Amino acid sequence: MINIKTEKQIKLMEESAVCLKAALKAIEENIRPGVSTLYLNEVAQKAMKEHGAIPAFKGVPCPYRGGKPYKWAICTSVNDEIIHGIPSSDVILKEGDIVSVDLGTYKNGWASDAGRTYAVGKVSPVCEKLIKVAKSAFFAGVDKAIVGNRIGDISNAIQTYVESQGFSLLREYQGHGIGEDMHEDPGVPNIGKKGKGPRLQKGMALAIEPMICEGSPEVYVKRDMWTVATCDKKMTAYYENTIVITDKEAKILTLDY
């Protein structure tokens, strides 16, 4: 069931997004060679706490049998790892890496969700392009996030743009509705056909998140039962924001204009 948010509920989601943006800022300020991904988790968690929010990812059940619930505040996926990477003191960022960070917050019972891919120092031209294309793909999708369109219009815009740049998209994972729960209906695939899927209505809240691969979109889950990485070991990038459908253009809650 798709939950349509009231103006009051959207305001509460905006308050949650303020906390998330503070955590993103703390992460951005600490992306550099020599920093561990666990340290990034710690600074993000501290920023969330200081702003009265709690990490939305903590306690999320593992989707795979035998896996343990997630116990970190953020996900940190390095290079060929595209999503759900686990922060670790053993993973030290080095010059030339790219790291994708995904995080969510709850405040006053309402969620926000966002993600970015960051360059660590000077990176290769292909990594620079991946990061730019992931971000631009998000905005290509948001341009179609208007009342009367359908989810497939967002999906198709993302797919068309990314493939025109010579990259591929994950098929097994997608964006989602968001509100009182981190993951709500509808699903928001990154691949799709125009005019298909649920119709967009004012008050719908969505997390749109292009996940792109330099090479093949074939992926596997590592032994930790969380980290998703490319089978061909090629680079990946990711970009996500929480948006709300309005009677005009979509409002992006987790991005400062």
Closest CA to 231 of 242, 220, 223: 220
Three-state secondary structure call for residue 134: helix
Give the C-alpha separation, 171 to 217, whole Å.
Answer: 7
What is the arithmetic mean of pLDDT over 69-84? 97
pLDDT of the residue at 206: 98
What is the arithmetic mean of pLDDT over 57-78? 94
Domains, the chain, ordered by start: 7-252 (3.90.230.10)
Measured N-to-C along each axis, helices 37-50 and 7-28 cross at an angle, to the nearest 10 degrees, of: 140
pLDDT of the residue at 65: 85
Q: 192-225 pLDDT, tens per residue?
A: 999 999 999 999 999 999 999 999 999 999 999 9
Q: Is the pLDDT of residue 182 over 70?
A: yes
What is the arithmetic mean of pLDDT over 51-65? 95
The CA R_g of the chain, rounded to the nearest whole Å, is 17
Give the C-alpha separation, 16 to 5, whole Å.
Answer: 15
Q: 5-38 pLDDT, tens per residue?
A: 999 999 999 999 999 999 999 999 999 999 999 9
Task: Name the pLDDT band for 66 (thresholds 50, 70, 90).
Answer: confident
**Cβ–Cβ under 8 Å, residues 203 and 156:** no
Taking CA atoms, 113 is separated from 94, 156, 160, in Å, by 27, 22, 24
pLDDT of the residue at 256: 83
pLDDT of the residue at 257: 61
| Runs of H (alpha helix) within the chain | 7-28, 37-50, 125-142, 151-164
DSSP state for residue 86 in the 8-state scheme: P
Q: 92-137 pLDDT, tens per residue?
A: 999 999 999 999 999 999 999 999 999 999 999 999 999 999 999 9
Q: 128-175 pLDDT, tens per residue?
A: 999 999 999 999 999 999 999 999 999 999 999 999 999 999 999 999
* 199-218: burial string, b at 16+ Cβ within 10 Å, e else: ebeebbbbbbbbbbbbbebe
Bridge partners of 184? 177
**Cβ–Cβ under 8 Å, residues 30 and 40:** yes
Counting DSSP H helices and E strands in the chain, the numbers are 4, 15
| Runs of H (alpha helix) within 51-175 | 125-142, 151-164
Mean model confidence pLDDT for the chain:
97
